[in-house]
Structure 1
Amino acid sequence: MSNADQEEFWTSDAGPNWVAQQENMDALLAPVLDLLLDRTPLKSGDTVLDIGCGTGVSVAAAARIVGTKGHVTGLDISQTMLDLAAQRTTATNASFLKADAQNHSFHTSFDAIISRFGVMFFNDTVAALANLDTALAPGGTMTFAAWGPAPQNPYFMVPAKAAIGVLGEMPKVDRTLPGPFAFEDSNRVLGMMTRAGLGDPGVETVHLDLTPPGDATETAALLLKIGPAQRAIAHHEADAAATARVQEAVANAISQFDTDLGLRIPACIHIYSARKPA
């Protein structure tokens, strides 16, 4: 079973938006990348596979840690995002691979597999994790960052509620299906990791603040391009006037997170980990 729908979505739909907003998204999610790398036991000389590497910020960060004696391979299903990743990554110890991690035949073993929000979109998560395990060297580690429970992530829920307040209700979605919250239930995910045969599966739940680079108005404009507000606008086929009202409502809603340091949006992040027996 392939992830063709996800490939189309991240190449032709979401991918161009992420490319256009790459700097803003990197700044917003920087605390999550820092957390992921802090929890990943990388060392100089390691070989790393980055799943769902997107536009490459995590590849570049991991490449700095493993040094010139190591290597990082960034894998993504979206050519749109990989094109920018290759363009902006200057590290000589990094490369990129367009592939579906669920069924790609890996001929290289890696010391570590990492992912920042890149593992929640598999059609068959158990099959995907089992396949990734074949790419892990004995004693190697997997470390994945995924969104925790939706109600604890106002980055999604606050703009969604604001958009619904302006445009009306959206169809209910099954959050266990491929999407940002497919890994929110840690017990369910740990069960899938066990069924996939991963060694020593575990999870740590961390609360942190996301750090959007702009003020409430600028961040609202970003959230109208990526996330639930954008989907609400598309679903309701909102015109320019309605879209402007949504942006104003989102800006007003997220202004509650304004601090002396700028916007700080609370987030709940699951860090999943596994280690292959040596």
Structure 2
Amino acid sequence: MPADNSEQIAEWNGALGERWVAMRQEIDRLVVPFGNAALEAAAPQPGERAIDIGCGCGDTAIEIARMVGAAGAVLGIDVSQPMLAVARSRGALANCAHLTFRDGDASEAALPSNTDLLFSRFGVMFFSSLRAGGRCVFVCWRTPRDNPWAMTPLSAARAAMGITPAPADPNAPGPFAFADEQRLRAILSGAGFGDVDVQRFDAAIALGGTPRSAAESVVQVGPVSRLVREVGAEHLPIILDAVEGALAPLAAPDGRVSLDGSTWIASATNPA
């Protein structure tokens, strides 16, 4: 397993993965609009064979399994054992015998050949397992400045801790690694894909019913949660208050907090 992946994989099999399982409903609220838009673009067809990369707790894999039907086949792959346990349980309850889940780093795993569709909701990777004419469809975040749902609370948390971030490499691995449209197109074209299409999709992300609940959510999931791990949990009360203070002026009259999220939905075809 590559050294640059091992630390991240360990996190997803430890407290981070357990936290995402515990907060699955809250996380779904954040990302469902983007996953649904990507599924609409992917348009899985009855009888197709699909792979869901970074399938997490199985939401999109189960939906794809429903769309391809019993004549199709779906494989969900993820590095997080805690999340895969939930995915397998949910898949069994959904009575999807043609849906299986596998533990593994999809960048290394030997995946089924002749796949019709590679799909990913914020778990982008590229592979050689597509059949000729097969499709790759995924959703990824645009730039940090286009995603106030992430950057507004992160800026408040950094200010509370007196942190001035160093200039970031926009192409470094991470949630915004594919934010630049031209780079994204070049990566897909360079990987041999054709019919490359990249479309912007924006949606409001519901962070919580009150500024406090929204703050409690974002300090556990997203960029602020990583900052909390870096500075230490003893600083959590200060960060929580700072994030709540930043979100309060943005709340709707009923107290709900929703901030904009912006993504690319990318699709491409493996040439015949």
Over 3 Å counting, the alpha-carbon distance change for 1:63 and 1:269 in structure 2 is same
Q: Show CA shifts across 1:197-250 (max 9, x none).
A: 1222221112221234533221211111122222222222252xx422321221
- What residue in structure 1 maps to residue 271 of structure 2? 277
1:190, 1:201 within 8 Å by CA — same for their partners in 2?
yes
Over 3 Å counting, the alpha-carbon distance change for 1:219 and 1:189 in structure 2 is same
- 1:250 matches 2:215: no
Shifted more, 138-147 versus 173-182: the winner is 173-182
Over 3 Å counting, the alpha-carbon distance change for 1:193 and 1:230 in structure 2 is same
CA RMSD of aligned residues (A): 2.0
1:257, 1:265 within 8 Å by CA — same for their partners in 2?
no
**In the alignment, which of 98, 104, 107 is matched to residue 99 of structure 1?**
104
Structure 1 position 170, deviation (Å): 5.3
- What residue in structure 2 maps to residue 182 of structure 1? 177
For 1:85 and 1:39, locate their aligned partners in 2 and report how far apart those are by CA, in whole Å: 23
Structure 1 position 99, deviation (Å): 1.9
For 1:103 and 1:170, locate their aligned partners in 2 and report how far apart those are by CA, in whole Å: 36
- What residue in structure 2 maps to residue 115 of structure 1? 120
TM-score, reference length from structure 2:
0.89
1:143, 1:273 within 8 Å by CA — same for their partners in 2?
yes
- 1:230 matches 2:225: yes
Give the count of matched residue pairs.
Answer: 265
Paired amino acid for 1:205: R
Shifted more, 16-25 versus 249-258: the winner is 249-258
Over 3 Å counting, the alpha-carbon distance change for 1:35 and 1:260 in structure 2 is farther
Over 3 Å counting, the alpha-carbon distance change for 1:261 and 1:207 in structure 2 is farther
- 1:150 matches 2:144: yes
SS of 2:123's partner is coil
- Map residues 4-15 of structure 1 onto 2, 5 A cutoff: 4-15=6-17
SS of 1:264's partner is strand
Structure 1 position 277, deviation (Å): 2.4
Shifted more, 185-194 versus 84-93: the winner is 84-93
- What residue in structure 1 maps to residue 215 of structure 2? 220
Shifted more, 217-226 versus 167-176: the winner is 167-176
TM-score, reference length from structure 1:
0.87
* Displacement over 6 Å in runs of 4+: none
For 2:257 and 2:69, locate their aligned partners in 1 and report how far apart those are by CA, in whole Å: 34
SS of 1:151's partner is helix
Identity fraction in percent: 32
Q: Show CA shifts across 1:104-132 (max 9, x none).
A: 2223321111100001xxxxxxxx52xx1
Paired amino acid for 1:140: G
For 1:169 and 1:95, locate their aligned partners in 2 and report how far apart those are by CA, in whole Å: 44
- 1:24 matches 2:19: no
SS of 2:105's partner is coil
1:170, 1:232 within 8 Å by CA — same for their partners in 2?
no
For 1:220 and 1:261, locate their aligned partners in 2 and report how far apart those are by CA, in whole Å: 13
Q: Which runs of 5+ in 2 are unaligned?
A: none
For 1:95 and 1:209, locate their aligned partners in 2 and report how far apart those are by CA, in whole Å: 32
2:205, 2:261 within 8 Å by CA — same for their partners in 1?
yes
Q: Show CA shifts across 1:18-46 (max 9, x none).
A: 11111110122111111111111211222
For 1:223 and 1:10, locate their aligned partners in 2 and report how far apart those are by CA, in whole Å: 18
Structure 1 position 252, deviation (Å): 2.9
Structure 1 position 259, deviation (Å): 6.2
Paired amino acid for 1:253: A
- What residue in structure 2 maps to residue 141 of structure 1? 135
2:141, 2:178 within 8 Å by CA — same for their partners in 1?
yes
For 1:178 and 1:18, locate their aligned partners in 2 and report how far apart those are by CA, in whole Å: 20
SS of 1:200's partner is strand
For 2:251 and 2:180, locate their aligned partners in 1 and report how far apart those are by CA, in whole Å: 26
